[in-house]
Amino acid sequence: MFRFVFRLAAMVALSVSVIMAVLDTTRTVAASALVLTPLNASWLAVSPDTRAAFETFVRAKASPLVWDGAIAWVLNQPGFAVFAVLAFLLYAIGYRRQRRTNQFATN
């Protein structure tokens, strides 16, 4: 059951990654120059209130160093790459290994 949830979340993250990649590709073609939109800019465009609430939550519960160090770095990366890595990690967690029984010929 949990594997299904992780694989479903991986599919959603991969879908978001493809949508963000298509948007960046369209902007790149229109500008005739490479355009990579950071995750922070995309998040602020979609929902600035949740972005501010997330920053407040992390600074209050964890530490301002966590926000300034790790999370700010991730938010400055291209959005499609962040979601692609997230999709890969979620799929790896939910991956079901194939059993290796009865794969060899018997005498």
pLDDT tens per residue across span 39-95: 999 999 999 999 999 999 998 998 888 888 899 999 999 999 999 999 999 999 988
Reported as a single tens digit per residue, the pLDDT across 23-37 is: 999 999 999 999 999
pLDDT band at 107 (very low <50, low <70, confident <90, very high): low
pTM of the shown model: 0.82
Residue 97 pLDDT exceeds 90: no
Please state, in angstroms and rounded to a whole number, the distance separating the CA atoms of residues 40 and 67. Answer: 13
Residue 106 pLDDT exceeds 70: no
The pLDDT value recorded for residue 96 is: 79
The pLDDT value recorded for residue 98 is: 74
> Dihedral of CA 84/16/78/21: which sign?
positive
